[in-house]
Each structure stands twice: as structure tokens, then as C-alpha cells.
């Protein structure tokens, strides 16, 4: 699918990987809607890239449906490029000090990361079903954000790894289900990137992970994520799989 002239929607588009993706797609000629819980920042990014913004809580299905309807009204068609980057990276041990449990945190992380991704994918697909097919029969592509942690999550990341594992696991069945509609589903599993989420990690943790990155021996750059998104959009034979974007790193236990 060509990017130029297509309607695109990026969740979590006000910062980090989502912002970089929104900027990259806009630079390639897409009409981008930026969805984010931070409506003010989303509006700022959208203004800078000539796009459109909607404040959105992805955990609320009815809100998501309304947000996608607004994006369709703005650009006159459903978004054919949908990138789910909205997420949170809260960490906690299953049972912490003095026997404290982390069930509320687990439920919140699952609701935002996995539930939010599923909500957006659901309503985006619903909108695409009636869209005219493009060359080759393609109607659109959904690109979800997993994480390297889905395969090698660290101590304290049970909730995060579970949420990202769910995103990775639903990639193939979703792609198989939506094949008849000409809608592809892919996932990207980034390693540690230079994003606001990373700032919450201790310096020693960042240094340890960086030392474990074979090549390039540095943190990922958000624009590299955006470049991969663009490559997936353009390559119609990429479907139903998860791509790790991590410099060949494998996260240590701690």
C-alpha cells in the first residue's frame, strides 16, 4: 500500500514511538489522526504535522468508536493505516514487600495495553469492512505494538509482558480472520528505545540493557520505529507476524 494520500490513525501519537510514527507517516504524505489520552499534546503534534487530533481513552470501547468516527469525518474515509502505540509500562512484583499484591496494577496494564489495542483494532476493522479495496485487494493494515519483553520480560514485568504477549499472540489469528477482507495485521516488538517510558527506569537498568545490545550498541531511536511502520505498510506480503526491533538484544532477568 502506498502511504501518500492515505488516511492514517496513530494511538499514543502525542509522544514516544507514536509521535515519531505520526510524524514519519505525515512526512510520507499520509493524512494522520493523532489519538492520545493527552489531548493538548496530541493537538500540538497534529498541528505541527498538518494532521488532526482527538483526545481518547482507548480503554473505553464507546469512546474509541466515537474517536474513529471523528477521524473518518475529518478525512472522508476510514483510516487504512492504523498503528497502536498507546500503552503504559507500570512495573511491580507479583507479591512485593510485606506480601503486598499487585492485582490492581496488573488489571490496569492489561486494560490499557491489550484491551486498548483490541478496542482500536476492532472499530478500525469495522470501519474498513465497507471501504473500497485498493490495488491487489488490500483495504488496510493494522500495526500493533508488542515489546521484546513479551519473550524475555524482566522481574517486575509480569503485567507488562503479559499485555504485550497478548498483542503478539493475537497477531496471527487476527490476520487469518481478516484476510478475506484484505486487511493485514502485524506487530512490532521494540526493545529499549529513547522514549518517555524509558525515563522511569533506573539508570543502572538502562546501562545494563544497553550493554546487552550487540549492534548497534545503543538505545533505539523512535524514528527507526516509524521507518519500520512505513516499510510494513508498503510491503503487502508482510502479514500475521511479529517483528522484533531491538538490535538483537535479549533482556536480562533484572
What amino acid positions are annotated as catalytic residues?
Answer: 160
List of residues 6+ apart from 245 with CB closer than 8 A: 188, 189, 190, 191, 220, 224, 225, 228
Q: Are 186 and 144 in contact (CB under 8 A)?
A: yes
- Antiparallel, parallel or unpaired: β 140-145 and 81-84: parallel
Residues 119 and 162: their CA atoms lie apart, in Å, by: 17
DSSP characters for 63-78? HHHHHHHHHHHHHSS-
**Is 178 in contact with 122 (CB distance < 8 Å)?**
no
Spatial distance between the Cα atoms of 66 and 61, rounded to a whole number of angstroms: 9
User: Cα–Cα distances in Å, from 242 out to 12, 78, 135?
Assistant: 20, 24, 25
Amino acid at each position: 500500500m502506498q502511504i501518500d494520500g492515505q488516511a492514517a490513525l496513530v494511538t499514543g501519537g502525542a509522544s514516544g514511538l507514536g509521535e515519531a510514527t505520526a510524524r514519519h507517516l505525515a512526512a510520507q504524505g499520509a493524512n494522520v489522526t493523532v489519538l492520545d489520552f493527552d489531548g493538548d499534546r496530541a493537538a500540538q503534534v497534529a498541528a505541527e504535522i498538518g494532521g488532526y487530533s482527538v483526545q481518547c481513552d482507548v480503554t473505553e470501547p464507546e469512546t474509541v468508536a466515537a474517536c474513529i468516527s471523528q477521524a473518518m469525518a475529518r478525512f472522508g474515509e476510514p483510516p487504512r493505516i492504523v498503528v497502536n502505540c498507546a500503552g503504559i509500562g507500570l512495573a511491580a512484583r507479583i507479591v512485593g514487600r510485606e506480601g503486598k499484591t499487585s492485582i490492581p496494577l496488573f488489571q490496569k496494564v492489561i486494560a490499557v495495553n491489550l484491551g486498548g489495542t483490541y478496542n482500536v483494532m476492532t472499530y478500525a476493522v469495522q470501519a474498513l469492512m465497507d471501504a473500497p479495496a485498493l490495488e491487489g485487494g488490500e483495504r488496510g493494515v493494522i500495526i500493533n505494538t508488542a515489546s521484546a519483553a513479551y519473550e524475555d520480560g524482566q522481574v517486575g514485568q509480569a503485567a507488562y509482558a503479559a499485555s504485550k504477549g497478548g498483542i503478539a499472540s493475537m497477531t496471527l489469528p487476527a490476520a487469518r480472520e481478516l484476510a478475506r477482507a484484505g486487511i493485514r495485521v502485524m506487530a512490532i516488538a521494540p526493545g529499549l528505545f529513547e522514549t518517555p517510558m524509558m525515563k522511569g527506569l533506573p539508570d543502572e537498568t538502562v546501562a545494563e540493557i544497553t550493554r546487552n545490545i550487540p549492534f548497534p550498541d545503543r538505545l533505539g531511536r523512535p524514528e527507526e520505529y516509524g521507518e519500520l511502520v512505513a516499510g510494513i505498510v508498503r510491503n503487502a506480503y508482510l502479514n500475521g507476524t511479529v517483528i522484533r526491533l531491538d538490535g538483537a538484544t535479549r533482556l536480562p532477568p533484572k
